[in-house]
Amino acid sequence: MRRISKKNTLVMPLLQERFEQFMAWTSDTPLGLVIDRAEGPWLYLSDKRRIVDMISGIAVSSLGHGHPAVVEAVREQAARHMHVMVYGEFVQRPQVDLAEFLARRLPPSLQVTYFTNSGTEANEGALKLAKKGTGRSRMIAFEGSFHGDTHGSLSVTGRDVYQQPFRPLLPDVDILPFNQERALQAIDERTACVITEPIQGEGGVNIPEDRWMRALRARCDETGALLIFDEVQTGFGRTGTLFAFEQFGVIPDILTIAKAFGGGMPLGAFISSAERFQALRRDPPLSHVTTFGGHPVSCAAALAALHVLVDEQLPVRARAIEERIRQRLRHPSIVEVRGRGAMLGMQLRNADLTARTVRRCLDEGVLLGWTLYSDCLVRIAPPLTIPFDVLDGACDTIIQALDAVEQDTRT
């Protein structure tokens, strides 16, 4: 086991040792920050330092940490009842209210929600729904995609290095180049579904052309393949609209969500039409079950978070955040800032510069991150509620860190 990089950590030794001894982790160098508490855009560490969270726990804490409305909803629901029965048997108000809230903001073909615990489970459910509903087995995904780490989601994740050690995965999966119209001809009458993120997150914040999205929708319609949009990362205002698909003018047959959905609590879902969901009710009944999916406390938190998101127009604020970041992040070492809203990637010249800049920012109190597949792209995904002066300060720190790292390299 590789030990946590001491340079990187701001921890109490005892707790760090117990972290290393008793916890399984898969990062080769975990950041190892010891969190005391978190509030708004701030992470408070055990050594009394505070750090600006510019990645929102990887696109989760869109309202900032510990939003009072969410905390109150959690408290109230936990006191009323927690788990009472496996999913879909009892009528539980937080689930029903949340499903209805979503339906009222989604197109007529996306009116029924099946709750899960996470993003990967949402995608597992979506793939099963598509296979059973169409009676077909072939599945198509795209290079550079990330859909989760359970076997089904991993099978449709377009990054060979993560698939290879776990083969054989699901059969009958084809991975096509992303954003290439000609490749869409591979979608055929045997295809149950095509899954894509509207904007690829872990693949490096890649935005496809509107034209490609429309061609994808058209090819699915021609062949009867179901189109699944994985909005686990892009959902809930992060890209400037409640869901990213709204910006492309293309509606999926199945929508999957998680991450920011739960307002900081674990929650996911796959959403489709009532008619499609019939497929999981018969031959055999209970074709898809979950014990904890749609936990009432998570659903109560999600509903509170959604009310804040909508009432405070946070998707619009995401666009203002983008504008501000783009204005401030100008530096000869920045090749490009790409993405939409508060889902941005800052491309730097090389991996060493990237790693050192991210490290230096952390030392200066700004938490940035990488995307899974790229070591030259700095992830920038702040809470949508981040005060502008805090955001500006974080951007200034990034620019100063770039200057300092460049300076160090020269000397």
Roughly how many angstroms between the first and final C-alpha of the chain, as a whole number?
34
147 makes contact with ligand PLP (CB under 6 A): yes
206 makes contact with ligand PLP (CB under 6 A): no
DSSP codes, 365-391: TEE-EEETTEEEEEEE---TT--HHHH
Mask for 269-308, x = binds ligand PLP (CB under 6 A): ----------------------------------------
Spatial separation of the C-alpha atoms in residues 57 and 55, rounded to whole Å: 6
Would you give the distance in Å from CA 12 to the centre of its chain? 30
232 makes contact with ligand PLP (CB under 6 A): yes
Interface size with ligand PLP, residues (CB under 6 A): 14
The DSSP letter of residue 276 is H
253 makes contact with ligand PLP (CB under 6 A): no
Contact 173, 182 (CB under 8 A): no
Pick 41 or 119: Cβ nearer ligand PLP: 119
Pick 94 or 235: Cβ nearer ligand PLP: 235
Q: Which stretch binds ligand PLP (CB under 6 A): 119-127, 170-178, 188-196, 389-397?
A: 119-127
Q: Residue 239 — φ and ψ, nearest 5°?
A: -95, 5
118 makes contact with ligand PLP (CB under 6 A): yes
- From the list 40, 43, 63, the residue with the least C-alpha distance to 261 is 63
CB of 202 to ligand PLP, least distance (A): 6
146 makes contact with ligand PLP (CB under 6 A): yes
DSSP codes, 45-106: ETTS-EEEESSHHHHT-TT-BT-HHHHHHHHHHHHH-S--SSTTTS--HHHHHHHHHHHHHS
Mask for 174-203, x = binds ligand PLP (CB under 6 A): -----------------------x---xx-
Contact 159, 186 (CB under 8 A): no
Angstrom CA distances, 389 to 68, 109, 164, 377, 402, stand at 21, 41, 45, 24, 20
Mask for 69-108, x = binds ligand PLP (CB under 6 A): ----------------------------------------
Position with the least CB separation from ligand PLP: 119
DSSP codes, 175-192: EE-TT-GGGGGG--TTEE
148 makes contact with ligand PLP (CB under 6 A): yes
**256-275: which residues touch ligand PLP (CB under 6 A)?**
258
CB of 146 to ligand PLP, least distance (A): 5
Residues that bind ligand PLP (CB under 6 A): 118-120, 123, 146-148, 197, 201-202, 230, 232-233, 258
